[in-house]
Every structure is written in C-alpha cells, then in structure tokens.
C-alpha cells in the first residue's frame, strides 16, 4: 500500500505536501479569525492596545481622582478583590508619592511607600545628596532603598501578607518643615498601615522632600499592571477603595465621597478592558481580562453610602524630628 499522500501519484508527492500545508495554513488562519470575532465563543487573548499597532503588553492603569482639597492627613481602606502577579493597588497617591500593596511577580505580598525627589531625571545616582529624599523614620522590618526609572526618590518595602477580600487600612500624614534659608521649604510624609496580626498601626516610614511645603495635593488611588508581558493584559485586577477621610490644615476631618474615573494613555496598554463605579462607602476599579466598561471616563462618581464617622483610632500627630535625617 502506497505511503504517498500526493494527489497525482507517487511522482507528485512533493507537490501534494505543499498543497496540503497550504490548505492547513489557510484553515488555521480562518480558525483564528473566527476566534477573534467571537464566533466560536472562545476568548481571544490578545487585547487591543491604545496605539492599535500591536497587542497590548499590559492591562490599562485605572485611577480614582478623589475630590479632596490639599490635606495634612488622609485615610482610606482598600480591599483587593481580584489579583495576579504584577499587581499594584495604590490606596493613597498624591503629587509627591504613593502608598499601597503589591503582589510581586513571584506571588509575594508586600506594602510599598514611595516619595519622589524634587529633581527631574530617572537615574537615582545622579541626584545630589542635598536634593535627595531624606529618611526621618525607619520602622521595624522594612527595607529602604533608592528607586529610579519613573523619576527618582526613596522607597520603603515591607513584607505584608494581605489577602484577597480583606480590607487594608492606610494612613498618611504630612508636616511642613523649614529648609535651609526657606521657611516651610520641605514636607515630611509619614506612612502608616494597620497590622491585623498585631491589631495596631505600624509606622513604616517617614520621608522628607524639598517641595516648597506642599501637603497632600491631588489625592488619588489606582490599580496597575506592572508585569507587562502581554499575557498579563488577560488577567483581571479589581479593588474596592472607600471610607475615605481627609484632614485639612485648618479644620476637622471630612469624608471624601466623590471621585473621578480616569485611566492612563500609554500606547502599549489595553484600550477597552477597564471599569469603575460606586460601591457602598466608596468605589471599585477594575482592569484587564474580560472587564467591560459601563462608566464613562472622566465621570465624577458619588459613593452610594457615604461614611458618617471618622475612624477614632488613627495615629496621633506626633511628628518626626528633623534631627538625624539621612539622605536616601
């Protein structure tokens, strides 16, 4: 029995193989077209990027721009609902830094607090010592280092085994300090996180930077995909943020009940798989995977059940001394 699969007999075997391969190639092409169009009910993994020239490398970063005036203190609760390696849920961000939790690429869970230098550039070693973020307080068990790549500054990392579905409490205080020859030329930012294993607040770090005495301006939260390997765009990241309170420089604590939904515009991020909306005393943010948007970008949202009483156990306003500051 002949082993030939050629159409015209054994002498045409080579031509038959070519014809068969061409047919299989065309069938494969049409199969993936059907997948991409959803005809076969299979999810196409390559999310369309904002730039549109290639598949998205990452899920799109989504933000809550809190409707809050410049503050000397800010409190918020964040709960990760869905996570995957390479996820950053920033609970408290402001014009000079941010604070949140991450799931690293190896699945390890940490809390992170960062403050930027007042200079431009991405090389942390190029910043002169007198212009670097200063370290005023270093909590037990934390790791302090310089960072670069997206501006430069000081960073605090600590192992923190947060869990999906469990709220994490965050608190930041800002205190204006004098700089040499400038009254109110610097600001010290203290980061606190509530440790449920100890049932107590942990003062992780206080960084100080030269910034003309700015408090907590432009308060925001975000969810970010920092794995950026194309496959990460297919994973859903979702978090809830709420029970937010701000303390102005003059006045009492006030609930923050409104936030604007915004998103980044990097060409290599997924374009459409984002969403946000009100939930309880705050809002949710979602990005990646099969997320579908039903809230318009730049919409200002109102919390469904605004909080009515500020937390009574927040750390007291005991500021770190400027003595012994270390440039980082």
Tens of pLDDT, residue by residue, the chain (328 residues)? 333 223 233 444 444 444 444 444 454 444 434 433 444 444 445 699 999 989 999 999 999 999 999 999 999 999 999 999 999 999 999 999 999 999 999 999 999 999 999 999 999 999 999 999 999 999 999 999 999 999 999 999 999 999 999 999 999 999 999 877 777 799 999 999 999 999 999 999 999 999 999 999 999 999 999 999 999 999 999 999 999 999 998 899 999 999 999 999 999 999 999 999 999 999 999 999 999 999 999 999 999 999 999 999 999 875 544 444 555 5
For 55, other C-beta atoms within 10 Å of its C-beta total 14
Q: CATH number for the domain including 114?
A: 2.60.120
Nearest to 239 by CA among 103, 68, 108: 103
The parent domain of residue 27 ranges over: 10-44
DSSP state of 10: G
- Answer yes or no: do 75 and 37 share one domain: no
Residue 30 phi, psi dihedral angles, 5° rounding: -70, -35
* Residues 34 and 117 reside in one and the same domain: no
Any domain includes 222: yes
Q: How many domains does the chain have?
A: 2
* pTM of the model as a whole: 0.83
Same domain? 40 vs 127: no
Do residue 18 and residue 93 come from a single domain? no
Note whether 133 and 240 are same-domain residues: yes
Q: Which residues pair with 111 in a beta bridge?
A: 101, 158
What is the C-alpha separation between 191 and 215, in angstroms, rounded? Answer: 14
Whether residue 14 is found in the same domain as residue 101: no
Looking at the fold, whether 26 and 156 belong to one and the same domain comes out as: no
What percent of the residues of the chain are helix, what percent strand, and what percent coil, each to the nearest 5? 10, 45, 45
CA distance 218 to 119: 19
Instruction: Report CA-CA distances (Å) from 34 to 29, 41, 42, 44, 53.
Output: 9, 9, 9, 10, 20
Closest CA to 237 of 108, 133, 81, 112: 81
Query: Is 189 a domain residue?
Result: yes
């Amino acid at each position: 029995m002949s082993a030939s699969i050629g159409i015209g007999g054994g002498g045409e075997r080579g031509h038959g193989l070519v014809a068969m391969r061409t047919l299989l190639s065309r069938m494969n092409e049409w199969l993936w077209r059907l997948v991409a169009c959803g005809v076969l009910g299979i999810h196409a993994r390559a999310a369309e990027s904002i730039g549109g020239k290639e598949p998205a490398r990452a899920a799109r970063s989504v933000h809550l721009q809190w409707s809050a005036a410049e503050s000397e203190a800010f409190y918020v609760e964040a709960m990760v609902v869905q996570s995957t390696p390479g996820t950053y849920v920033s609970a408290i961000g402001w014009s000079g830094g941010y604070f949140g939790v991450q799931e690293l690429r190896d699945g390890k869970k940490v809390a992170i607090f960062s403050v930027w230098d007042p200079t431009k550039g991405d090389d942390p070693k190029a910043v002169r010592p007198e212009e670097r973020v200063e370290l005023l307080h270093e909590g037990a068990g934390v790791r302090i280092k310089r960072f670069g790549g997206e501006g430069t500054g000081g960073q605090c990392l600590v192992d923190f085994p947060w869990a999906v579905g469990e709220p994490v409490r965050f608190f930041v205080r800002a205190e204006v300090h004098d700089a040499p020859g400038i009254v109110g030329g610097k600001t010290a930012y203290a980061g606190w996180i509530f440790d449920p294993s100890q049932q107590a607040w942990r003062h992780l770090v206080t960084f100080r930077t030269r910034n003309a005495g700015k408090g907590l301006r432009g308060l925001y939260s975000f969810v970010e995909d920092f794995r950026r390997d194309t496959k990460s765009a297919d994973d859903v990241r979702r978090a809830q943020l709420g029970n937010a309170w701000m303390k102005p420089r003059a006045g009492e604590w006030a609930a923050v009940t409104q936030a604007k939904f915004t998103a980044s515009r990097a060409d290599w991020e997924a374009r459409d798989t984002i969403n946000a909306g009100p939930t309880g005393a705050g809002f949710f943010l979602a990005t990646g995977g099969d997320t579908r948007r039903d809230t318009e970008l730049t919409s200002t949202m109102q919390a469904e059940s605004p909080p009515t009483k500020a937390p009574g156990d927040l750390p007291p306003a005991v500021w770190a001394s400027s003595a012994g500051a270390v440039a980082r």
